[in-house]
Amino acid sequence: MYRAQETVLEIDFKVLKQNFEYLKSKIQANTKFLAVVKAFAYGSDATEIATYLQNLDIDYFAVAYVNEGIALRNAGITKPILVLHPQAVNFKELIDYCLEPSLYSAKVFNEFIAIASLQKQTNYPVHIKFNTGLNRLGFWENDVNYIVSKLKETNAIKIKSLFSHLAASEDLEEKAFTLNQIESFKVISNNVTNAIGYKPMLHICNTSGILNYPEAHFDMVRSGIGLYGFGNSEKENKNVKPIATLKTIISQIHKIEKGETVGYNRAFKSASFLKIATLPIGHADGIGRHYGNGKGFVTINSYKAPIVGNVCMDMIMVDITNIDCKEGDEVIVFGQNNTAETLAQTAQTISYELITAISQRVKRVYLK
Ligand SMILES: *Cc1c(COP(=O)(O)O)cnc(C)c1O
């Protein structure tokens, strides 16, 4: 174990590999695996993660935006990269870097065909996204004829896959809704496939879809959060483990008397003698203000220390009155035991938000 001397996010590649192997064990041998590495691989560092995963049995990567895909290409990633939410202003660069766009509306579809034609592309691989109930991005079922008629007018693009995204794959109370999404995806993909006369790949499952809907894996699955160690359920959290541990240290300890206050706006007022530790991590590092004032906590020598007062930009103060510790001691903000999910819940949010928020100024350390 690495002993922190400053704030660091420690990434364990052995755990990443175990999570990947667990997820792979849930899919058929001939089902492809796409690793979602958008948002700096959910805060872990996309180029490091993708470079590591590229040597495992990964078929595809996905990012949200074109600049994320360019960073991967510049780091030597050669596998196909799906860009989930590209904007037309970046289509030329997308082609220059051999990234593959998700085309989700008539506007971006036509804009992409225009630019691909201008660049003298033929059969450029694209992925058509359908909305089956999330109502976020995607063509509707009744857009199929329009898409097919436009495709017949050009040879600049070729459909590599048809896909959709589930709205509530982790929520088994929404099973009927999810099954309905899967059904309408089947109808749409049959219609498109019959009309174009070749078979693009089909995919709809994210991590919870992989785990909860084995019948809907189709040709490929897309996993993000599961790789990083969150299964979105108590049961699955036993099968995957967080790859990231956020550590910091105690910068200074203050002893304060009853009636004194701690931090900005004097938000915390002590009711008795207290020992308070100041830690070098704040909202600019990704610990938002909503964790302040007793909601969030960190772990010091296995004991919970609640955050007192407001979260500052570069610091938090925690109550260590009953903890045997000294300046320089290591502090765990989240990790394998006190997970980001548990900490996120103290502020009514989810693991995804907390881990993707850890800012670039926090040094990443890799255990390989
Ligand atoms: C982010 C994203 C995923 C990954 O979802 P997880 O729940 O993290 O596995 C998959 N597909 C799409 C379209 C996404 O935007």
pLDDT tens, position by position, 313-347: 999 999 999 999 999 999 999 999 999 999 999 99
Ligand 1, atom 12, residue with closest C-alpha: 165
Supply the residue whose CA is at minimum distance from atom 4 of ligand 1. 224
Whose CA is closest to atom 15 on ligand 1?
Answer: 84
User: Which amino acid is residue 222, in one-letter code?
Assistant: R
Residue 225 near ligand 1, beta carbon < 6 Å: yes
Pocket probe mutation, ligand 1, options 84, 222, 237, 354, max atoms within 8 Å of Cβ: 222
C-beta separation of 123 from 157 below 8 A = yes
First-to-last CA distance in the chain? 12
Range 244-367: architecture per CATH: Beta Barrel (2.40)
Instruction: Compute the Cα dihedral for 44, 48, 52, 54 and give only its sign.
Output: positive
Q: How far is the CA of 318 from the centre of ligand 1 (A)?
A: 34
Cα separation, 156 vs 151, in Å, equals: 9
Residues 345, 306: Cα–Cα separation, whole Å: 14
Could you say which residues of the chain have pLDDT below 70? 1
Is residue 50 within 6 Å of ligand 1 at its C-beta? no
Contact predicate 362/285, CB 8 Å = yes
pLDDT number for residue 2: 74
- CA distances to 139, 271, 327, 331 from 279, rounded to whole Å, are 48, 22, 10, 8
Ligand 1, residue 226: give the atom nearest the CA: 9
| Cα–Cα distances in angstroms (integers) from residue 236 to residues 93, 175, 212, 348, in the given order | 39, 17, 10, 21
Tell me the CB-side half-sphere exposure of residue 128, using CA atoms within 13 A. 30
- Best CA proximity match to 359, nearest among 39, 28, 5: 39
Would you list the DSSP string of 165-189?
--S-TT-GGGHHHHHHHHHHHHHHH
Distance 283 CA to ligand 1 centre (A): 26
CB count, 10 Å around CB of 144? 22
Measured on CA atoms in the order 51, 53, 56, 61, is the torsion positive or negative?
A: negative
Catalytic residue numbers read: 38, 264
Residue 1 pLDDT: 63
Whole-number Å distance, alpha carbon 224 to ligand 1 midpoint, is 6
Task: Tell the residue nearest (CA) to atom 13 of ligand 1.
Answer: 165
Atom of ligand 1 nearest to the CA of 222: 10
Atom of ligand 1 nearest to the CA of 163: 13
- Cα(52)–Cα(221) distance, rounded to whole angstroms? 19
Beta bridge pairs of residue 57 = none
**What superfamily does domain 31-228 belong to in CATH?**
Alanine racemase (3.20.20.10)
Nearest ligand 1 atom, CA 165: 13
Secondary structure (3-state) at 283: helix
The residues spanned by each domain of the chain are: 31-228, 244-367
Ligand 1 pocket member 84 (CB < 6 A): yes
Distance from CA of residue 299 to its chain's centroid?
Answer: 24
Q: Rounded to the nearest whole angstrom, what is the distance from the C-alpha of residue 259 to the centroid of ligand 1?
A: 48
Residue 284 CA to ligand 1 centre (angstroms): 25
Task: List the beta strands (DSSP E) in the chain.
Answer: 8-12, 32-36, 60-63, 81-83, 100-103, 124-129, 157-163, 201-203, 220-223, 244-249, 252-256, 261-262, 268-269, 274-279, 297-300, 303-308, 316-319, 330-334, 363-367
CA of 84 to the centre of ligand 1 (A): 9
Question: Which two structure tokens, joined as six digits, stand for 334?
Answer: 């989240």
